[in-house]
Amino acid sequence: MNVRTLTFLLALSTCFVAAEGRADPPTPGSPELVEPLSVRALVADGKHNAFTAMVRWKDRYWLAFRKGTAHNSGDGDLVLLRSDDGKEWTEARRVNAAPDDRDPQMLATQSRLFLYDPAMDGAKLTSFVTYTDDGETWTDPQPVYLPQYIFWKPLAKGDRFYATAHLKSRDGTARHVHLITSGDALRWDKVSTIRGGNWESETTLWFAAPDRLVAFMRQKYGSPKATILESSAPFSEWSERRAGPKIFGGHAVCTFQRVTYLLSRSLEGQQTGTMIYTYEQGELHPYCALPSGGDCSYPAAVQDGGAMLVSYYSSHEGSTNVYLARVPLRGKR
């Protein structure tokens, strides 16, 4: 066997391994991953600043997060910042609907900005919603959906809104995730149970087509901690398959210039961090590792020219801070 033939066979073998999904994922610092264009700590005041949400609405950037004493302390408030340019930020709103306001979610329509607030009062959980039509005057928080359900990642499709809501319970067999829908983003109805009975948690939606919905599900305990499910209209039945990553957590899905990205807590090797993946033909591929570690993740992204502006939180520098990164879109390095 000559050298040229041997080289060809080795290359072919490598292709087969990659195609079957057995190749090791890139690690942070790998040349296969893109580097952020910039990263800065946006909120670093010694508090536990975490769980970000971000949208662009009426030519402004809006970024929400929880400020508390610690990750599970019972004293969190939601803080909403706004910016004209993504560089200078001012506080626009602070929400204290219950003793511990936790995981902000946002939905921007042409005329209205909604801020959702799953809030705790001891063991009691209520998801609230407040909204504005001008960015200045906000409604009082009002309950949304059912008690004890965490409202998660709303999105618009046509003239309808969709979201998930998962039951908070210390009993894994009681936990489940609902697909819910609304015509006004205020009153929500159950469409189906995506999955139940096995520590179901945060579940983020993405429309692969007008009549096909994909759900990226976190499993709080047990295995697998990352699952992708799919459903076709009317979204009453769901099929399940394993995902590539080892874990989902606080994850968001965005599509920019026809490329879909999933941003999530990740576990590459033994290191916890925040990773941006591309999602193509049903597969997730590591794209950009953000500087992060320990207690981290819950990212959100909006397009910023040929880049995405990404908010997330991390404790890798000691305190738990909110960070803002600019990451080039694929093909825009």
Instruction: Render pLDDT for 263-278 as a digit per residue (tens, 0 to 9).
Output: 999 986 657 899 999 9
Of the candidates 29, 49, 34, the residue with the CA atom closest to the CA atom of residue 314: 49
Q: Are the CB atoms for 174 and 166 separated by under 8 Å?
A: no
Query: How far from chain centre, in Å, is Cα 200?
Result: 15
Residue 31 has a pLDDT of 57
What residue type is assigned to position 322 of the chain?
Answer: V
- pLDDT tens for residues 196-238? 999 999 999 999 999 999 999 999 999 999 999 999 999 999 9
> Looking at 11-25, 148-162, 262-276, which range is the least confident one?
11-25
pLDDT-derived band at 8, boundaries 50, 70, 90: very low
- pLDDT tens for residues 43-94? 999 999 999 999 999 999 999 999 999 999 999 999 999 999 999 999 999 9
Cα(48)–Cα(51) distance, rounded to whole angstroms? 10
Q: Are the CB atoms for 62 and 136 separated by under 8 Å?
A: no
* Tokens (6 digits) for 198: 């096995």
176's enclosing H/E stretch is strand 176-182
pTM of the model: 0.89
Mean pLDDT (whole number) for 328-332:
87
Of the candidates 235, 207, 230, the residue with the CA atom closest to the CA atom of residue 217: 230
* Tokens (6 digits) for 261: 């990205």
DSSP 8-state class, residue 172: T
Whether the bond into 234 is cis, omega within 30 of 0: yes
Residue 232 CB neighbours (<10 A): 14
Mean pLDDT (whole number) for 273-300:
95
Q: Helix H segments across the chain? A: 3-19
Q: Are the CB atoms for 314 and 320 separated by under 8 Å?
A: yes
Give 3-state DSSP helix, strand, coil % of the chain, rounded to 5: 5, 55, 40
Residue 78 has a pLDDT of 98
Q: Helix H segments across 144-272? A: none
pLDDT-derived band at 331, boundaries 50, 70, 90: confident
Query: Coil, strand or helix: which one is 70?
Result: coil
Mean pLDDT, the chain, as a whole number?
A: 90
Residue 278 CB neighbours (<10 A): 15
What residue type is assigned to position 288 of the chain?
Answer: C
39-328 CATH: 2.120.10.10
Domain ranges of the chain: 39-328
Cα–Cα distances (Å) from 269 to 21, 27, 252, in that order, read 16, 8, 22
Of the candidates 172, 162, 98, the residue with the CA atom closest to the CA atom of residue 130: 98
Cα(141)–Cα(37) distance, rounded to whole angstroms? 37
pLDDT-derived band at 5, boundaries 50, 70, 90: very low
Q: Are the CB atoms for 216 and 240 separated by under 8 Å?
A: no
* Tokens (6 digits) for 137: 């005057």
DSSP bridge pairs for 38: 326
